[in-house]
Amino acid sequence: MRRIEPAAVLGVMSREVANFRTFWRSTTFSSLIEPMIYLLAFGLGLGTTLVSGVDGIDYVQFVGTGMVATAVVFSSALPAMFGTFVKHRFQRTYDAILAAPVDVEELVSGEMLWIGLRAGVFGTFPLLVTIGFGLDPAPGMVLVPFFSLITALAFAGFGIAVAGSVAKIDQFNYITTLVITPMFLLAGTFFPIDQLPEWAQVLSQLNPLHQLVVLVRDACFGFEWTDLLRLAGLVVLAFAMWRLAISRLTRRLID
Amino acid sequence: MAAIELEGVVKTFGPIRAVDGLDLIVPEGICLGLLGPNGAGKSTTMRLLTSQAIADEGRLRALGYELPRESKEARARMGVVPQLDNLDIDVTVEENLKVFARLYRVEDLNEAVDRALALARLADRRHDAVDELSGGMRRRLLVARGLVHRPKLVLLDEPTVGLDPQIRAEIWTLIEDLRAAGTTILMSTHYIEEAERLADEVALMAQGRVIARGRPGELIAEHAGRRTAEYYAPPERRAEVRSAAVAAGLQVRSAGPALVIVGCERAPDGLVPDDAITRPSSLEDVFVNLTGEELE
């Protein structure tokens, strides 16, 4: 592997920060308001009529803690997919960056780190909202941004790899329908997965979003030793996706 | 040391040989114009120099660095002005420059940005979003962005393509200033006037290789003579004049409704009709003579 220069990675991130300053208000607004709407609809609606609690956890808190994973995937995989494609194909931003002393490894690392950090922060918003809905603060919660960051890095790498592989932007529909949506629904956000058929439970265990949901809930209600394995799995996935993203984008950007 | 040394460079895209055995040496401190029609291999050559395309064969060096192995070192000292506007349009003029100053590891960001703004004459627009600038201002900013780190070598890829004449003149002034400061420039273009006005030397490219090279005046004198006649007349009359010109050993071609006689000062008395329009020969005439293709 060639040496990755922090200055190049930070330079790529500085471009993202400069752009983010122009639209942070709308993104932050939706990241705060969306979990509130979900909690009102599912938590208060479903929770007060059909389900009072799951595994001894109040249903509002069950959904609220699970929504951290939802916020993470939607603020990492989708921006990585669409952002990368648009910057490469339509804005030609990467042509300009790669003409500077920046390699594809550094470009991908900068993009992934920025998306990871952003999703790490946005991932905590549902938790903060749930605290507003009555969840008791717990010391383990300070690790939630870190868990979100690691998971977001994996999904950012996945999104960049997808963007480096598709020929047309509408092909993202296959990915959102066949990958993102099933992951989102089988994460254990809205219902416990132990009620699902066995095959679905196996799939859920392979689902990184489910691992994040469990980590976040355990951060709120008490860790177990298996959480270390979950975290290790997410770290390995993030590394694998980083390398995959570099490989796919190199093929796309370097003739 | 030459700023650019390309030797036997080949780059293929599937069945297409975009660059086909290209040999090109650009000495330090000159402005070399790469002149050729679309598809001649000019942009691919530019991408090879930034290692955004990797050659299949041949040796490439830029500023003494071997490409693509030492491409990063070369790119740190090279400025690139792309053909297409790829500025961040929602971000301010100043931030656009700062981001690239960081990417080029410039130590004094503020000094670099102030200098680039002065160069682009955009100091009073530094806090405006790029989206609010006129087309000419955006183009000047694009040039300034490529110069923010004081590069030793500048690659200009079709710097004025698609611009109106007034904006083109503004960009030419910027390039002339750069040239006067002794920066080495490799400029691809398919505009004759641009090459003739800005380039110390011109390399004519066709089908992925250089077919002729020299100072514009020398190339014209060697391949197209001093003057060229354009003769507008009915087809039968043009055919008569064409036959006489060919018989006299002159280069002729059709250009729409006109017959073009290149190097007409060498024509025997009475061959060029009195009502023909004569003009100084140009690089266009050289190019067409050598390739049979039009430039624009």
Q: What are the tens digits of pLDDT across the range A7-57?
A: 999 999 999 999 999 998 998 888 778 877 877 787 677 766 667 777 778
B103-135 in b/e form (b: 16+ CB < 10 A) is bbebeeeeebbebbbebbebeebbeebbeebee
Q: How does the average pLDDT of chain B come out, rounded? A: 89
Q: Which two tokens stand for residue A203?
A: 């799939």
pLDDT of residue A101: 95
Q: What are phi and psi of A192, to 5 degrees?
A: -70, 140
Say if residue B68 is in the same domain as residue B104. yes
Q: Which of residues 2-21 of A touch B (CB under 8 A)?
A: 7-8, 10-12, 14-15, 18-19, 21
Q: Which two tokens stand for residue A24?
A: 């942070």
Closest-CA residue to B192 (of B42, B41, B296): B296
B90 touches chain A (CB under 8 A): yes
pLDDT of residue B74: 95
Q: Which residue of A has its CA nearest to B71?
A: A101
Q: Is residue B255 part of a domain?
A: yes
Residue A2: pLDDT over 80: no
Does the distance separating the beta carbons of B88 and A93 come in below 8 Å?
yes
Say if residue B179 is in the same domain as residue B235. no
Q: Is the pTM of this model over 0.95?
A: no
Say if residue B213 is in the same domain as residue B230. no
Start-end of H helices in chain A: 6-20, 24-38, 47-49, 59-74, 77-85, 93-99, 104-132, 144-163, 172-175, 181-185, 198-205, 208-221, 226-253
Q: Write the DSSP string, B31-97.
A: EEEEE--TTSSHHHHHHHHTTSS--SEEEEEETTEEETTTHHHHHHTEEEE-SS----TTSBHHHHH
d(Cα B109, Cα B115) in Å, to the nearest integer? Answer: 10
Say if residue B245 is in the same domain as residue B191. no
Say if residue B48 is in the same domain as residue B173. yes
Using pLDDT thresholds of 50, 70 and 90, give the confidence band for residue A164: very high
3-state secondary structure of A88: helix
Say if residue B270 is in the same domain as residue B145. no
Say if residue B171 is in the same domain as residue B40. yes
For residues A166-176, give the mean pLDDT. 92
> Structural domain of residue B148, as residue ranges?
2-220
d(Cα A12, Cα A83) in Å, to the nearest integer? Answer: 14
Give the contacts of B46 (CB within 8 A, at least 6 positions apart).
Answer: B80, B155, B157, B186, B188
Say if residue B133 is in the same domain as residue B246. no
d(Cα B38, Cα B20) in Å, to the nearest integer? Answer: 15
Residue A1: pLDDT over 60: no
For residues B100-115, give the mean pLDDT. 94
d(Cα A66, Cα A209) in Å, to the nearest integer? Answer: 9
Does the distance separating the beta carbons of B72 and A101 come in below 8 Å?
yes
Say if residue B248 is in the same domain as residue B213. no
Say if residue B119 is in the same domain as residue B238. no
Q: Is residue B71 part of a domain?
A: yes
pLDDT of residue A28: 86
Is B276 exposed, middle or buried (CB count within 10 Å of its CB: 0-12, 13-18, 19+)?
A: buried
B1 touches chain A (CB under 8 A): no
> Worst-scoring range by mean pLDDT, A45-49, A62-66, B16-20, B255-259?
A45-49
Say if residue B131 is in the same domain as residue B234. no
pLDDT of residue A195: 82
Q: Is residue B262 part of a domain?
A: yes
d(Cα B34, Cα B57) in Å, to the nearest integer? Answer: 21
Q: Which two tokens stand for residue B173?
A: 């002034």
Contact of A212 with A74, CB cutoff 8 Å? no
Q: Enumerate the residues of chain B whose CB falls inside 8 A of the CB of residue A86.
A: none
Residue A111: pLDDT over 70: yes
Give the contacts of B134 (CB within 8 A, at least 6 positions apart).
Answer: none
**What percent of chain A stands above pLDDT 90?**
62
pLDDT of residue A57: 82
CATH number at residue B63: 3.40.50.300
For residues B12-18, give the mean pLDDT. 92
Who wins on pLDDT, A99 or B39?
Answer: A99
Q: What is the 8-class DSSP label of residue B128? A: S
Q: Is residue B288 part of a domain?
A: no
Q: Is residue B296 part of a domain?
A: no
Using pLDDT thresholds of 50, 70 and 90, give the confidence band for residue B104: very high
Q: Is residue B52 part of a domain?
A: yes
For residues B284-290, give the mean pLDDT. 83
Q: How does the average pLDDT of chain A come out, rounded? A: 90
Q: Please give the tally of structural domains in chain B.
A: 2
Give the contacts of A244 (CB within 8 A, at least 6 positions apart).
Answer: A157, A158, A161
Using pLDDT thresholds of 50, 70 and 90, give the confidence band for residue A163: very high
Say if residue B215 is in the same domain as residue B241. no
d(Cα B27, Cα B5) in Å, to the nearest integer? Answer: 9
A93 touches chain B (CB under 8 A): yes
Domain boundary among B220, B255, B290: B220
Q: Which two tokens stand for residue B26?
A: 């650009």
> Worst-scoring range by mean pLDDT, A182-191, A207-216, B60-69?
A182-191
> Worst-scoring range by mean pLDDT, A86-95, A128-137, A229-238, B123-132?
A128-137
pLDDT of residue B203: 93
d(Cα B36, Cα B32) in Å, to the nearest integer? Answer: 13
Q: What is the 8-class DSSP label of residue A44? A: I
Q: Which two tokens stand for residue B55?
A: 């050659």
d(Cα B34, Cα B6) in Å, to the nearest integer? Answer: 14
B91 touches chain A (CB under 8 A): yes
For residues B45-53, give the mean pLDDT. 95
Contact of A156 with A244, CB cutoff 8 Å? no
Domain ranges of chain A: 6-253
Highest mean pLDDT among A67-76, A97-106, A190-199, B170-179: A97-106
Residue A209: pLDDT over 50: yes
Residue A181: pLDDT over 70: yes
Is A138 exposed, middle or buried (CB count within 10 Å of its CB: 0-12, 13-18, 19+)?
A: middle
- pLDDT 10s digits, B213-231: 999 888 888 888 888 888 8
